[in-house]
Amino acid sequence: MARRFPNNPLVGVGVVIIQGDRVVMCRRAKPPRAGCWSLPGGGQELGETVRETAVREALEETGLSIQVRGLVDVIDSISHDDDGRIEYHYTLIDFAARVTGGTLRAGDDAAEVAWFTLDEVRALDTWATTIEIIEKAFERFADD
């Protein structure tokens, strides 16, 4: 199914990878929000659970192996074009995770990846909802 002007919502999975007081962010290489910073993640594939998607996407985009710690939130991202048509519609499932291995490097759909503190994330060019998700993840999972 087409990502742009889809017939149905698409499932996207994001990962808040926490290590100490830092979180991994990816600069998006492709639309929507190309050039903006976001959580690592991507589309769920047929036959894949959302947790499997989180693990796969984290590895593909960041080079990091992760262990999913828990669900942070589920949100909808709906964008319209200038004519009011739905250009993008994603149901986004965000998980918190910890690093279990690998080396941080940009891959797949990420133009760049880096570790940021929460204060640094707040200063990035990112979607306000992404900041809310990261704040929730730190509240619930930072001490696990």
Catalytic residues: 112
**Tokens 């998607």 — which residue?**
53
Please name the helix (run of DSSP H) or strand (run of DSSP E) that holds residue 74, with its range, or none: strand 64-80
Encode 98-110: b = buried (16+ Cβ within 10 Å), e = exposed. Answer: ebeeeeeebebbb
Structural contact between residues 51 and 68, judged by C-beta atoms closer than 8 angstroms: yes
Q: What would the two tokens of residue 122 be?
A: 């707040």
